[in-house]
Amino acid sequence: MHNERITTSEKTDVLIIGSGAAGLRAALAAAATAPGVDVTLLTKSALKESNTRYAQGGIAVAMNVDDTLALHVQDTLVAGAGICDRAAVEAMVAEGVPRVSELLDWGANFDWEGTLPRFTQEAAHSRRRIVHKGDATGRETTDVLVQQVVNTARIRVLTNAFAVEVLTAEGQCYGVIALVEGEPVLLHAKVTILATGGLGRLYPCTSNPEVATGDGIAAAWRAGCELIDMEFVQFHPTTLCLDGAPNFLISEAVRGEGGQLITIRGERFMEKYHELGELAPRDVVSRAIQNEINQTGFPCVYLDVTHKPADFIVERFPTIFETTQRYGLDIRIDVIPVRPGAHFMMGGIRTNTEAETNVRGLYACGEVACTGVHGANRLASNSLLECLVYGARAGTNAAAFAQTQTVGVTPADSHIPDTATMVSADKVDDIRHTIRETLWKNVGIERNGEGLQETLAQLQEVAEAACTPLSLGDEGEQYTQGTCEAANMLDVARCITEAALLRTESRGAHYRSDFPERDDTAWHRRIILTRDKAPQWIELER
């Protein structure tokens, strides 16, 4: 079964999987770095569909008159709770300035105030340093980058193309197996960049779109990549909690502009949890909201901006205003029902600051990757900054690598890797539901050893009952995007749970009720997971 040949195959020099800000920026950098290099960009859905598009708050960048690179670095390190990679943070912050300036040169229509962008405040930032376009910064950023990609002749875009497996031979990546418009295609590449985004859809309440099912992390893990910091899943404190409405993100910037969190009784509560109140780090705010929900038995708390001028609300938050209005809320006079939702993965595929993984010829950038810039808890609006900076680095370095490869690694007998699995088609919906419910219950905002052990056992039982080897042949069940997504979700869920069980302390977004304190003596280190190997540790300097 595992040696069935794929008859349809294509070749490219640089293959990029994912069309969020990281993937788009990588494609532009690759094309600019090496004029003779062909670039192919695969996207799971439409070209503009990604987590980037739904980012509201903005891009953190040290460009304001009272700001410095050093302050931005320090804020990032503090938010990361002691396990950020300083060199990676310093590179992101320093290179972020030219990357954002570049966006402006390309026509990004951010909000302005005089001769400077209109900087806003967000939680845990010591300065107003968030550039934005109302509350639709992600859409503006996506539109600008997509236009640049479309205008670059040597970038080929394949939409509705789902990367199923990363293919390797003798420790080097040589491309992917993909479903392109539903048909299997083997895409050979001299170098491959994973920019597949996050995994919020592993949880029932999330700000992420449908495409965020952890595919790149799972495929990389099966291909032998090291994963790191997988226990650190960030929950955004405020997603819309309204019957009939989607889990729509209510931006951090709402609190940055003075929004207040209140209980069903109309009482503010954040000051009893943190001296910064509503502007405390996201993990603190999320746990505080969940605690209030647990105490009151009510499914949400409320975010109140009714004390702000009505015109300001409409101008500053047009997307939130229009979306909530469609569901019967007028945020000029109504409070907004909110609850935490899965938002961002701080961990992922381990890379260095050059975006290289431990598999030769395979690079990663954006949310799917982990350079260590976010540590245990991402600072608000550093995500798009990371995508721009490390997307550009990935594209530049990958294109340079491709130029050293005279012939792409293309084994004569291309076949499905032995690690490849899928979920039986008739079990996909049940598996998705099981993963989401057990992760929300036991591997969410608050965890404990008993629940984590229970989850690992349940996920193992599900895998044994539902997973089957991937098949392209006439015999046996044929694979689809849905059957492969479910298998990816299962693999990633197990990695998150295993790392969470190993870290017997509370740090950043990882909170263990049975180990509620941060332990720098035993746990000033990071956890590496690799398929078929025992966990490894990176000890950090104190």
Q: Enumerate the active-site residues.
A: 282
For 312, phi then psi, to 5°, come to: -65, -45
Distance CA 175, CA 163 (A): 10
Distance CA 327, CA 334 (A): 12
In 335-411, beta strands by DSSP E: 336-345, 348-350, 362-364, 369-370
Nearest to 362 by CA among 319, 314, 394, 329: 394
Q: Rounded to the nearest 5 degrees, what angle is found at the Cα of 137, between the Cα atoms of 133 and 140?
A: 90
Q: What is the dihedral of CA 488, 45, 358, 385, to 10 degrees?
A: -120
Output the six-digit token pair for 144. 């600008």
DSSP 8-state assignment for residue 52: G
For 431, phi then psi, to 5°, come to: -65, -45
Beta bridge partners of 40: 15, 156
Output the six-digit token pair for 185. 């295609």
Residue whose token pair is 């597949």 = 196
Q: CA Rg, the chain, in Å?
A: 22
Output the six-digit token pair for 126. 């010591």
Distance CA 73, CA 373 (A): 10
- 10 Å CB burial of residue 413 (0-12, 13-18, 19+) is exposed
Distance CA 316, CA 332 (A): 12
